[in-house]
Structure 1
Amino acid sequence: MTSHEGRSLIVVTGATGNIGRSLVGRLLADGAAVRALTRDPARAGLPAGAETVGADLTGADDLASLLAGADALFLNLAAGGEQAATAVLDAAVRAGVRRVVLNSSMAVTDTPADDTHFIARLHAGLERAVRDSGLEWTFVRGGNYATNALAWAPSIRESGVVREAHPGAQGVPVHEADLADVAAVALLDRSGAHLGKAYVVTGPERMTLARQVAEIAAATGREIRVEQISEEEAAEAMSGRYLTREAALELVRMFGRTVDAPPFPVSDAVERVTGRPGRTFARWARDHAADFS
């Protein structure tokens, strides 16, 4: 491992994911040393200022060495799943890491419902493990990621059509850079203002899936139409390696319920934590226009 010359060293799991990549850049810009964990360093494409380290968190890698000398850890369930995240957390405790910022989910409500909702259950269990670890902690409870819209990219490129069961489903899509900025503030905070806080982080405005498609059309200059399909067809398209058909159908039906009853209020957490308003979905669409072209 390289020398970090007295700077705070932050270990970032899931460093090549949407949030992780933004976070690495933000931490470097703020003067931190970053150890970015990724399965394939040669293909990571991360900034030269980061210490990019190969790590398979689901395997037999020496997790303690990955965390040696670190002050703080950004822990993302998506970087390897529940068992890997718990193993990394345990290794962080053994390595003397002081603080963990967990990328959690707004599905967590701190009520008994967390034990019945399949997304909440996973994240709530990891939140409990973090609380019990003895480390300083902050939870970034995101969800309704704007990057979910990238699932439309192949059909937009091929046919200019988006197929959804519930075009009127409502959400508050959040830009991955805003999630990264909130995490960065919590990781680098020296005042203690963010310790023990669980921030529900949303975008700045509520909108339907159909309006998101319209914003992508405006950003790309393409004509894109929305075609309504059945819930079963939508679940079939979503299911795969990480999501069973049954879980996908539960998600699709959950989206359907938001047509008449939006599930979450718009949060001002981005502005409260970072001091500036959250990025709009229109901004996200412009930032990702090349993905749809």
Structure 2
Amino acid sequence: MILVTGATGNVGRHLVGELLCADAKVRALTRDPATARLPSEAEVARTDEMPLDGVTSIFLNPAVFWNGLGDLLERARDRGVRRVVLLSSAAALNDDPRNVVGAHHLEIERAIEETGLEWTFVRPGEFATNALVWEETIRAGEPVREPYATARSAPIHERDIAAVAARALLSDGLVGAKPVLSGPEALTHPRMVEIIGAAAGIPARFEEIPPEQARAEMLGRPYMREGLVDALLRMRAEAVDRDVEISPEVERITGRPARTFAEWAADHF
């Protein structure tokens, strides 16, 4: 039995599908099973109950555990769980204590390593799904306003993250690995906005704003805390005019090229 935390999230929902297609037994955790809309083949349970009976592997989404893992890892080891696949972050490559994103993921990685369980740490960079925050603005015909117009990243489709995580859960080839994942091309936010507009069939514009204005607006969004906002803005600033390293890991692990941002936009718009 494979336990998937965050099963209704951007990655978790696709991961459940990948595992079921491989005929794996899946227990999908969600805050509200009644509204989860997960496949009937999956066993659905509540996140706060965390049932571990019969579980051999866990997909761990740290967004579910922002306030800490509690005794989850100890319980998992005691109940016979053998493997943990963590949805970590490429931010963990930067061991800067000011970077709360990287620090949070590194803390969990180290805790997992100390258990003696088998593990894989999947480290994606920028999620393409982050661009969904622009949808309402674009459809309203307003410009997307962000700082650091020339910052570059290689956004990755959530389906590719799920595909890699599925391989880590279903086979032994990634045990002890920390694959860094990216999309296949480096893009700026203005170019991403342009691609979304083309997929949606509507004009889409980008307008650069000062970082201070962006910070104030980000702090007004749900789940955005001060330290997190500052870390995100710092990472964008560091990406200005930077060469982006494109990771080959999605293709190496799954056997097919990583999906482009245009493919992601077509899927969502």
Per the normalisation by structure 1, the TM-score is 0.87
1:283 aligns to 2:263 (yes or no): yes
Aligned with 2:57 (options 65, 69, 72): 72
TM superposition outliers: structure 1 runs of 4+ over 4 Å: none
How many percent of aligned residue pairs carry the same amino acid? 47
Q: Displacement, 1:116?
A: 4.3
Q: Are 2:7 and 2:13, in contact at CA under 8 Å, matched by a contact in 1?
A: yes
Q: Distance in 2 between matches of 1:234 and 1:259?
A: 16
Q: Displacement, 1:248?
A: 1.3
Structure with the greater relative contact order (CA < 8 A, sep ≥ 6): 1 or 2? 2
Q: Distance in 2 between matches of 1:88 and 1:134?
A: 14
Q: Displacement, 1:207?
A: 0.8
Q: Are 1:231 and 1:253, in contact at CA under 8 Å, matched by a contact in 2?
A: no
**In structure 2, what is the equivalent of residue 245 of structure 1?**
226
Pairing of 1:1-40 with structure 2 (within 5 A): 9-40=1-32
Cα distance 1:137–1:168, how it changes in 2: closer, same or farther (>3 A)? same
**In structure 2, what is the equivalent of residue 166 of structure 1?**
148
Q: Distance in 2 between matches of 1:187 and 1:247?
A: 30
**Structure 2, gaps ≥5 residues long:** none
**In structure 1, what is the equivalent of residue 239 of structure 2?**
258
Q: Are 2:128 and 2:261, in contact at CA under 8 Å, matched by a contact in 1?
A: yes
**In structure 1, what is the equivalent of residue 195 of structure 2?**
215
Q: Distance in 1 between matches of 2:258 and 2:58?
A: 24
What SS is found at the alignment partner of 1:265? coil
**In structure 2, what is the equivalent of residue 177 of structure 1?**
159
1:102 aligns to 2:86 (yes or no): yes
Residue type at the aligned position of 1:107: A
Q: Distance in 2 between matches of 1:32 and 1:267?
A: 28
Deviations 1:154-196 (A, max 9, x none): 211223421111222100000000000000000000xx32110
Q: Distance in 1 between matches of 2:77 and 2:267?
A: 37
**In structure 2, what is the equivalent of residue 44 of structure 1?**
36
Q: Are 1:219 and 1:286, in contact at CA under 8 Å, matched by a contact in 2?
A: yes
Q: Displacement, 1:219?
A: 0.6
1:234 aligns to 2:214 (yes or no): yes
Q: Distance in 1 between matches of 2:143 and 2:259?
A: 26
Residue type at the aligned position of 2:89: S
Deviations 1:87-116 (A, max 9, x none): 32222112111111000010112x7x3444
**In structure 1, what is the equivalent of residue 124 of structure 2?**
142
What SS is found at the alignment partner of 1:35? strand
What SS is found at the alignment partner of 1:67? coil
For this pair of structures, how many residues does the alignment match?
Answer: 268
What SS is found at the alignment partner of 1:156? helix
Q: Displacement, 1:227?
A: 1.4
Cα distance 1:20–1:116, how it changes in 2: closer, same or farther (>3 A)? same
1:186 aligns to 2:168 (yes or no): yes
Q: Displacement, 1:82?
A: 4.3
